[in-house]
Amino acid sequence: MFKFKVAIHTQIIIGLVLGLVFGVISIFSGWNPAITIDYIKPFGTIFVNSLKMIAVPLVLASLIVGIANLGDVSKLSRIGGKTILIYIFTTMIATGVGLLFVNILQPGKQLPEETRENLMALYDTDASTKQQRAAEIQEQSPLQPFVDMVPENLFSALSDNTAMLQVVFFALLVGIALLNIPKEKGQPVVAFFDGLNDVIIKIVEYIMLVAPYGVFALLASLIVELAGEDTDKALELLYALLWYSMTVIAGLGFMLLIFYPSLFRLFTKINIKDFFKALHPVQLLAFSTSSSSATLPVTMDVVEKKLGVSEQVSSFVLPLGATINMNGTSLYQGVAAVFIAQALGLDLTIGQQITIVVTATLASIGSAGVPGAGMVMLVIVLEAINIPTAGIALIVAPDRILDMIRTAVNVTGDAVVATVVASSEGEMPEGLIRTTNPLAADGSEIEK
């Protein structure tokens, strides 16, 4: 269990703010940016790498143990079916919300012709790599995502953080097989992975002790790097794309402030304020690392220990969610696709918008939980509605910042679903239960 004197999310916020301030001061005081890149950035990289280092073993161990502990296959199909249905449902809603906002606010129509041409020219090379990728995707069978799920070599899947879906697939198979062999044979295997799981969770606690410093280093170097690419030009572009960025952020805000709380009201008895309070460190970490996979170890720890979701549910729902459930990403892809169409002066039919809902849902499932993955997968959405993929050039500039925010929404979505599934299984964490007595809902239970 974490024992923090100053709550960990407060420490992380301090790290984050100091990182921002440090970055801004170092730019304006004309410091050599190489100092930040050479001496501060490495600490951020070490921090993220240490989280990534444990992501694969964690997914493997927790999923295997999670399934084996369910006891029988019927429970697995019940919880599994429920989880996947809710994941698909929330992702489609998220894309729909994105479409709603982008159609109402019409950010693409605000972009002056000249700016559009500048953007296209500036990011032309970047976009042509994406186009190449698009051409590759076009040549593939529509069933390719299913082919990609099955590793041809387990060990190469285990050594590739972006192949997490393959690890999930293998872990599911091992878990199901364990349920179907004699108990005494399976027991040592389960005990091994169970022990491994605990060891990894312990390592997460060690890593979290240095999280505030890691976050500081990440933010400080990010600011310096962003500014490095011609500050004036970057600001000018960001300004031109402000309306688009605000549209994405408004949609993400809607998910956080309206959609998730409504789900909570409908399906759980948990106090949403307590939920968000417990989840702060997870959201901040997702924001700083732009990676759901890197955040997963902490998501699991918080969801189990602070929200009281059982290991059975969390160790199945969360690793799966970190790989396939990306509400923030699908929302962003919906907005980005329509924005690009609007900016290029192309009108989309209702049919095309429905295609966006379907393809953005699939593309977000296929996006790895790593920085920038959502933008690469946007190609699939654009292809499906016949919008030139070079249009991605229009939205490259603010992507890093939007990535940070959408990743925070991605991990929130995973935790929400874990809690909803746990509640539907009759797990009702004491102390977090919604009550009409405001004194009992002050969150004191979760700050211990």
DSSP 110-148: GS-HHHHHHHHHHTHHHHHHHHHHHHHHHHS-TTHHHHH
DSSP 291-358: -HHHHHHHHHHHHHHTT---HHHHHHHHHHHHHH--HHHHHHHHHHHHHHHHHTTPPPPHHHHHHHHH
Identify which of residues 245 and 292 has a Cβ nearer to ligand ASP in the complex: 292
Identify which of residues 179 and 286 has a Cβ nearer to ligand ASP in the complex: 286
Cβ neighbours of residue 363 closer than 8 Å, sequence gap 6 or more: 329, 330, 333, 374, 377, 378, 380, 381
Distance CA 318, CA 212 (A): 24
CA distances from 36 to 44, 220, 228, 229 (A): 11, 7, 12, 15
CA distances from 320 to 30, 171, 216, 313, 317 (A): 45, 10, 29, 11, 5
Q: How far is the CB of 83 from ligand ASP (least distance, A)?
A: 18
- What one-character DSSP code corresponds to residue 281? H
Q: How far is the CB of 199 from ligand ASP (least distance, A)?
A: 25
Q: How far is the CB of 98 from ligand ASP (least distance, A)?
A: 12
CA pseudo-torsion sign 440, 445, 430, 442: positive
Identify which of residues 290 and 342 has a Cβ nearer to ligand ASP in the complex: 290
Identify which of residues 277 and 406 has a Cβ nearer to ligand ASP in the complex: 406
Distance of CA 301 to the CA centre of its chain: 16
Which parts of this chain interact with ligand ASP (CB under 6 A)? 290-292, 326, 329, 367, 369-374, 403, 406-407, 410
Q: How far is the CB of 350 from ligand ASP (least distance, A)?
A: 26
Identify which of residues 292 and 353 has a Cβ nearer to ligand ASP in the complex: 292
Identify which of residues 353 and 367 has a Cβ nearer to ligand ASP in the complex: 367
Find the distance separating the first CA and the last CA of the chain, reported in whole Å.
10
Contact 370, 51 (CB under 8 A): no
Identify which of residues 26 and 292 has a Cβ nearer to ligand ASP in the complex: 292
Identify which of residues 217 and 376 has a Cβ nearer to ligand ASP in the complex: 376
Q: How far is the CB of 89 from ligand ASP (least distance, A)?
A: 19
Identify which of residues 67 and 296 has a Cβ nearer to ligand ASP in the complex: 296
Contact 382, 270 (CB under 8 A): no
Identify which of residues 274 and 403 has a Cβ nearer to ligand ASP in the complex: 403
The closest alpha carbon to 363, from 325, 410, 330, belongs to 330
Q: How far is the CB of 207 from ligand ASP (least distance, A)?
A: 17
Q: How far is the CB of 299 from ligand ASP (least distance, A)?
A: 11
Distance CA 165, CA 39 (A): 35
Q: How far is the CB of 192 from ligand ASP (least distance, A)?
A: 29
Distance CA 218, CA 279 (A): 20
Contact 284, 9 (CB under 8 A): yes
Q: Which residue is nearest to ligand ASP (CB)?
A: 374
Q: How far is the CB of 277 from ligand ASP (least distance, A)?
A: 22
Identify which of residues 95 and 407 has a Cβ nearer to ligand ASP in the complex: 407
Q: How far is the CB of 179 from ligand ASP (least distance, A)?
A: 30
Q: How far is the CB of 94 from ligand ASP (least distance, A)?
A: 12
| 28: its two tokens | 């304006």
Contact 395, 339 (CB under 8 A): yes
